[in-house]
Chain A
Amino acid sequence: MAPSRSSRNSLQSVDLRALDYLASPSANLLCPICHSPLITPVQTRCLHTFCSACISLSLERSLTCPVDRKDLSHDDVTPAPIMIANLVNDLVVLCPNREKGCEASCARWLVESHVREDCGYAMVKCAKEGCDGMVARKDVDEDCVHEAVECEFCEFAVRKLDLESHLRECPKLSSECPHCAEPFLNPELSIHIADCPAEIIDCPASHFGCPYTCPRSEVDNHTGSCHFIALTPILQLHTERITTLELENKTIRQKLELLIPPRPLPTPSSSSSNPQDSSTNTGSSSTTRDMTSEMQDYTYHLYSEYEQLRSDVERLNAQIRELDVKQDMARINEGLRYNDEMTGMRAAINGLRMQLHWLVASRRDAPTPNSGGAGGAANRVGAGSSTNDGRRMSDSARQIVKL
């Protein structure tokens, strides 16, 4: 490799999603959104894997997982296990300049550096000083192809780069007709070729089976006597009917296969409810497998609807549970309050009972009930303080209950 080649980096950018792969990659490594092998794989909380860019775009529109429609936020997306990233990065891809002629293939993680530094067909800046043109890396050591030169026949200015293609259609040059070998000026050649009388053509009814061929100039002699041409209207009709019938037949066959799935030979358990089972069945024909995948598509569609309904039900359930808990809490709180109040009342009643006892006792102990105002006042004062005591007791009782 010449030093000047590797010293020039190509600015050509590589679209990883447009790459072609040497072998078709496992379906497990495809992103459900772009259907390409994962690029910078990430994993969601619900354990689905996407390209980082794909799921970000999707989350901008809807905060749900595209596969199972579970709620999903940007925070629920984390890099996928490094093993998955390694698997996709090691897949072998073909060089994006394959159509220009590069036959290189390499691991996907190397393809960008291949194009930037090695690929002979990547465009790099022209080596000539002052020239802004681009040239394929393999040609960078040749003379600059961006200078204008004059066509020696028509005297138009043409870039050196375009000279070759110009000469093929230069209006002052002529080329030979491939059929009659007559020379024609380029602008007139295509008109001539379209009905060159020397071209060997098929009978107009060749698609019905006439094997006759002759130069265009003589075809009229043949068509007058060709049986196939005479039968063309009726043959046309038959062809149309056969095509319709074939189509109908095909549809019917497909429907039949859908209705009567052939039983897999070895295992008697052929329940289609298990998609893994049916996909690994090797006994069925390829059309049935198409139909199965059709059914799977459809099942999958139904499944996603079902998932959605299930999440709705789950959400409702959660709401009901929450309401239940709230109600329980309210009931317990209410109960506690009543308990509290009851204890308070019990304490108050106790206090009253003690006062009553005291009053009755003091009545019994005093033989002269009308012994004077001072005694009564003292009594009253005593009773008052006793009430206070009682209240204090009930207060402390309440506190104890509360504790």
Chain B
Amino acid sequence: MALPKRIIKETERLVAEPVPGIQAVPHEDNLRYFDVAIHGPTQSPYEGGVFKLELFLPEDYPMTPPKIRFLTKIYHPNIDRLANWSPALQIRTILLSIQALLGAPNPDDPLANDVAQRWKEDEPGAIATAREWTKTHATP
């Protein structure tokens, strides 16, 4: 099936006007696959790190959200909790919301995991771990 116009338009804009601190490059052989690199926001435990992600646009995108997988190990309480999808959102809004989550981790998210638990009980310790992981796994 031919690539929908919307995906072409979004890709063109992502390449022509990249989001500051975010690179998204489509695979040459499959334009629905993107290699994404997000720079950790300043004054966050992820500062100085570059986080690599894989983004895939499913067949029925934008009806279903882009699929996203972190390739870089990251210590974060709710990075897997993305905002409710709506077909009016875009690849850039999703990437922006990931960047925002890096800048403001929220351990009070209802679907918490172990990291969130630790974050609530020992925030300085959790932040230190996040810094450490950033240094070991996300520093080029």
A binds B: yes
Residues of A near any B CB (own CB < 8 A): 17-18, 32-36, 54, 57-58, 61-62, 64, 66-67, 69, 251, 254-255, 258, 290-291, 293-294, 297-298, 300-301, 304-305, 308
Specify which chain A residues have a CB less than 8 angstroms from the CB of B64 in the assembled complex.
61
Taken together as a complex, chains A and B put the C-alpha atoms of A297 and B83 apart, in Å, by 14
Proximity string of chain B (62-78) to chain A, C-beta cutoff 8 Å, 1 when within and 0 when not = 11100000000000000
Report whether B5 and A66 are in contact in the complex, using a CB–CB cutoff of 8 Å: no
Taken together as a complex, chains A and B put the C-alpha atoms of A35 and B89 apart, in Å, by 11
Report whether B9 and A35 are in contact in the complex, using a CB–CB cutoff of 8 Å: yes
B118 lies within 8 A of chain A by Cβ: no
Taken together as a complex, chains A and B put the C-alpha atoms of A67 and B64 apart, in Å, by 15
Nearest neighbor of B9 in chain A, beta-carbon distance: A35
Report whether B88 and A67 are in contact in the complex, using a CB–CB cutoff of 8 Å: yes
B97 lies within 8 A of chain A by Cβ: yes
State whether A294 and B63 are in contact (beta carbons under 8 Å apart), knowing that A67-B88, A301-B96 are contacts in the complex: no
Report whether A304 and B86 are in contact in the complex, using a CB–CB cutoff of 8 Å: yes
Report whether B87 and A66 are in contact in the complex, using a CB–CB cutoff of 8 Å: yes
Specify which chain B residues have a CB less than 8 angstroms from the CB of A254 in the assembled complex.
20
A90 → B minimal CB distance (Å) = 20
Report whether A34 and B4 are in contact in the complex, using a CB–CB cutoff of 8 Å: yes
Report whether A33 and B87 are in contact in the complex, using a CB–CB cutoff of 8 Å: yes
Proximity string of chain B (84-100) to chain A, C-beta cutoff 8 Å, 1 when within and 0 when not = 10111110110011001
Nearest neighbor of B23 in chain A, beta-carbon distance: A247
Report whether B84 and A69 are in contact in the complex, using a CB–CB cutoff of 8 Å: yes
B136 → A minimal CB distance (Å) = 21
B17 lies within 8 A of chain A by Cβ: yes
B2 lies within 8 A of chain A by Cβ: yes
Report whether A69 and B17 are in contact in the complex, using a CB–CB cutoff of 8 Å: no
Nearest neighbor of B19 in chain A, beta-carbon distance: A294
Specify which chain A residues have a CB less than 8 angstroms from the CB of B63 in the assembled complex.
57-58, 61
- What are 26 A-B pairs with beta-carbon distances under 8 A? A17-B5, A18-B5, A33-B6, A34-B6, A35-B5, A54-B87, A57-B63, A57-B87, A58-B63, A58-B87, A62-B86, A66-B86, A67-B88, A69-B86, A251-B20, A251-B39, A254-B20, A255-B21, A290-B17, A293-B17, A294-B20, A297-B93, A300-B93, A301-B89, A304-B83, A305-B83
Q: Which of B6, B39, B100 sits near A298, CB closer than 8 Å? A: B100
Nearest neighbor of A247 in chain B, beta-carbon distance: B23
Q: Which of B38-82 contact A (CB under 8 A)?
A: 39, 42, 62-64
Taken together as a complex, chains A and B put the C-alpha atoms of A255 and B22 apart, in Å, by 12
Q: A-B pairs with CB below 8 Å: how many? A: 69
Nearest neighbor of B39 in chain A, beta-carbon distance: A251
Nearest neighbor of A291 in chain B, beta-carbon distance: B20
Taken together as a complex, chains A and B put the C-alpha atoms of A380 and B77 apart, in Å, by 91
Specify which chain B residues have a CB less than 8 angstroms from the CB of A255 in the assembled complex.
20-21, 42
Report whether B20 and A36 are in contact in the complex, using a CB–CB cutoff of 8 Å: no
Closest 5 CB pairs of A and B: A66-B88, A254-B20, A32-B88, A66-B86, A35-B6
Taken together as a complex, chains A and B put the C-alpha atoms of A308 and B39 apart, in Å, by 29
Taken together as a complex, chains A and B put the C-alpha atoms of A62 and B62 apart, in Å, by 13
Specify which chain A residues have a CB less than 8 angstroms from the CB of B17 in the assembled complex.
290, 293
State whether A17 and B4 are in contact (beta carbons under 8 Å apart), knowing that A35-B9, A54-B87, A301-B83 are contacts in the complex: yes
Taken together as a complex, chains A and B put the C-alpha atoms of A40 and B85 apart, in Å, by 24
Report whether A33 and B62 are in contact in the complex, using a CB–CB cutoff of 8 Å: yes
Specify which chain A residues have a CB less than 8 angstroms from the CB of B96 in the assembled complex.
294, 297-298, 301
Taken together as a complex, chains A and B put the C-alpha atoms of A67 and B88 apart, in Å, by 6
A286 → B minimal CB distance (Å) = 10
Nearest neighbor of A258 in chain B, beta-carbon distance: B20
Report whether B97 and A18 are in contact in the complex, using a CB–CB cutoff of 8 Å: no
Specify which chain B residues have a CB less than 8 angstroms from the CB of A33 in the assembled complex.
6, 62, 87-88
Taken together as a complex, chains A and B put the C-alpha atoms of A254 and B42 apart, in Å, by 13
Nearest neighbor of B90 in chain A, beta-carbon distance: A297
Q: Which of A36, A293, A304 sits near B5, CB closer than 8 Å? A: A36
Specify which chain B residues have a CB less than 8 angstroms from the CB of A297 in the assembled complex.
90, 92-93, 96
Taken together as a complex, chains A and B put the C-alpha atoms of A255 and B5 apart, in Å, by 31
Taken together as a complex, chains A and B put the C-alpha atoms of A67 and B86 apart, in Å, by 7
Specify which chain A residues have a CB less than 8 angstroms from the CB of B97 in the assembled complex.
301
Taken together as a complex, chains A and B put the C-alpha atoms of A34 and B6 apart, in Å, by 6
A301 → B minimal CB distance (Å) = 5
Specify which chain A residues have a CB less than 8 angstroms from the CB of B87 in the assembled complex.
32-33, 54, 57-58, 66
Taken together as a complex, chains A and B put the C-alpha atoms of A137 and B43 apart, in Å, by 65
Report whether A36 and B21 are in contact in the complex, using a CB–CB cutoff of 8 Å: no
Report whether B39 and A64 are in contact in the complex, using a CB–CB cutoff of 8 Å: no
Specify which chain A residues have a CB less than 8 angstroms from the CB of B86 in the assembled complex.
58, 62, 64, 66-67, 69, 304
Taken together as a complex, chains A and B put the C-alpha atoms of A120 and B6 apart, in Å, by 29
Taken together as a complex, chains A and B put the C-alpha atoms of A193 and B97 apart, in Å, by 51
Specify which chain B residues have a CB less than 8 angstroms from the CB of A258 in the assembled complex.
20
Nearest neighbor of A35 in chain B, beta-carbon distance: B6
Taken together as a complex, chains A and B put the C-alpha atoms of A298 and B86 apart, in Å, by 15
